[in-house]
Structure 1
Amino acid sequence: MRRADQVISSDTKAGGDECGGVGILGISWAFGGMIFILVYCTAGISGGHINPAVTFGLFLARKVSLVRAVLYMVAQCLGAICGVGFVKAFQSAYYVRYGGGANSLADGYSTGTGLAAEIIGTFVLVYTVFSATDPKRNARDSHVPVLAPLPIGFAVFMVHLATIPITGTGINPARSFGAAVIYNESKPWDDHWIFWVGPFIGAAIAAFYHQFVLRASGSKSLGSFRSAANV
């Protein structure tokens, strides 16, 4: 059997093909399904804000105010700390065995590769959020019923499949932060910046692409500005 520190954690610590008998596929389904449920349940309360990277992308797109975005991010991080604390309290054996679920860069991968994985993974997630909640799309494709949390959950599932072996899949800075705080070991903290910088860059790219490239919002805003200036 492999040593515990060579086995990927429950979210996971990047690196292996299984976790306590649960493969990467099972872990990915668990995360995708849970995100689907959480977004569905909280959409009518907060708009489904459970990820600082998503909140940051929506803030850049001017869909969320600065104050609300900051409060959401604080709540998300506090929730993550509490969640990991409960796991440690009630599942201490598994918690220790799998390194507290703390994200860190897998052996054999460079920092650049890990950062790229987080950027691309978060881009996929945040762009899916924009697409699934776009009111213009809902109006245009009203004949095609779309349950927004479903594609979002599926995006999380696919990203986990691709990036678990590299970084354990962050794409949610709050989740990574909560695990790092409770586990409090040097390796997760040394790599921790990747799980903030990468997701925030990915979210910013997704917001820019959706708002200014795909929807050409920038051109429309510039045209309106010029028209107003000529009046």
Structure 2
Amino acid sequence: MIWPFGSKKKVPETDFVKKYLDENSIKIPGIRQLGLLEFVVFDTETTGLNPKEDYILSFGAVKIQERKILIKSAIEWYPDSPKAGHQTAAIHGLLSKEETLGIRQFVEQVLMYFGSSILVGHHVGFDLQMLHKASKAYGLPRLVNPTLDTMNLAIRLDYGPSPDRQLVPMKEYGLDSLCVRFGIATEDRHTASGDAFLTAQLLLKLLKLAEQKGIRSFADLVR
């Protein structure tokens, strides 16, 4: 297990990173309708909440195509970690897993799974930081897929594209609160795969509401 950080030298791209970048070289047309977009909804559980000091313990994801959650596509992987999850174990219950992936294998599988899909998460910025930390050792300092945060989308649909966050009751836009609001049963909460599935259900609800508000294409969605 290797987490080779600290060097400022440019790391050469591995073959699987080159393949991933190749796949993402063709951009999604702005006019593509929401129902034709492909999403990967994902979540991570980590050893803590500091991207500089903590590591991914589990990664869960599921794909959405043609407005349908592809249940058979759901995965949960456990990368090697040099640090135990004692700080967050009370939340996700993970201290150790026997079947773990080496970091290189984990990053390769994640990039292959992502492909050129739109990446979706709830408060997704933290999860992206954790993946960037893992992938930069293989020549990929940053994921290049389009990304969408369901928390930000929910706020946008309620308050418009440029809301004053000081006026937004942020507690109402946590994953639990939004699931209650949209009638989504919160089973298997605080596992990577469970939270990814809840977020996928929430995304479909938000996309339906978005269309009602005139957001009908990829360009509308990500502007």
What TM-score, normalized by structure 2, do the two folds share? 0.25
What TM-score, normalized by structure 1, do the two folds share? 0.25
- Structure with more contact order per residue of length (Cα contacts < 8 Å, sep ≥ 6): 1
Return the index of the structure with the highest Cα Rg. 1
